[in-house]
Amino acid sequence: MMATTHALVGLAVAAVVTLVAPEYGVIAAAAGLTGGVFPDLDIYAGHRRTLHFPVYYTAAAAVAGVVAFVLPVPWTVGVAVFLAAAALHAASDALGGGLELEPWEGTSERAVYSHYHRRWVPPRRLVRYDGAPEDLALAALFGTPAALAFGPTVHQVVAVTLAVSAGWVVVRKHVPTVATWVVAQLPEGVHPHLPERFGP
């Protein structure tokens, strides 16, 4: 799934939190959006492994949730929402496509790495690949109602996020061709530093 979809799912978590604790709206929205994106910062170094912890994020989010419930202050609420959004991201990556340059081919059996199980979780492909039309539908489905829980700034963030997502959907299938061309232009010495799926 797209990082933007994960961000909006994270915002939906924040929206639920504001139903019971509206005073933490700003910190919850920021934590949900960043927590939703955070795991994908590993895109250039061990993607879907280095910062993806489907089991550990979930366990940490459960603990942080209890702490936030007992001691509701901005940072405990923020940490709990961040971890919950990151957990949903890592776990839901298993519902998308595999880790390959053209994920719609459906040849990869690696969706996300579970450090707890010490193995790759295979892709379920309910969302066939990041940038598939159903991925955008999911982003809108979570992002639109979530935005309504917040003010105009978040509305704008969601609108821009959905616009970027729509753009990605349009260009997605051309990306491998462009990426392969760019890699071919790079000096040989750079190749070892590229993600595996861009291989020389």
Contact with Zn ion (CB under 5 A): which of 51, 93, 100, 138?
93
98: left (phi over 0), alpha (psi -120 to 50) or beta: beta
What is the CB-side half-sphere exposure of residue 116 using CA atoms within 13 A?
12
Residues 40-79 that bind Zn ion (CB under 5 A): 40
Q: Is 135 in the site for Zn ion (CB under 5 A)?
A: no
In the bound complex, what is the minimum distance in angstroms from residue 25's beta carbon to Zn ion? 26
In the bound complex, what is the minimum distance in angstroms from residue 110's beta carbon to Zn ion? 12
- Asked if 142 and 12 touch (Cβ cutoff 8 Å), the reply is yes
- What is the spatial distance between Cα 125 and Cα 123, in angstroms, rounded to a whole number? 5
Name every residue whose Cβ is closer than 8 Å to that of residue 135 and which is 6 or more positions away in sequence: 1, 2, 5, 96, 127, 129, 165, 169
Closer CB to Zn ion, 119 or 155, in the complex: 119
In the bound complex, what is the minimum distance in angstroms from residue 97's beta carbon to Zn ion? 11
In the bound complex, what is the minimum distance in angstroms from residue 36's beta carbon to Zn ion? 10
Q: Which residue, chain included where needed, has tokens 């040989």?
A: 188
Closer CB to Zn ion, 112 or 146, in the complex: 112
Residues 2-41 that bind Zn ion (CB under 5 A): 39-40
- What is the spatial distance between Cα 117 and Cα 4, in angstroms, rounded to a whole number? 27
Closer CB to Zn ion, 67 or 95, in the complex: 95
Q: What residue ranges bind Zn ion (CB under 5 A)?
A: 39-40, 93
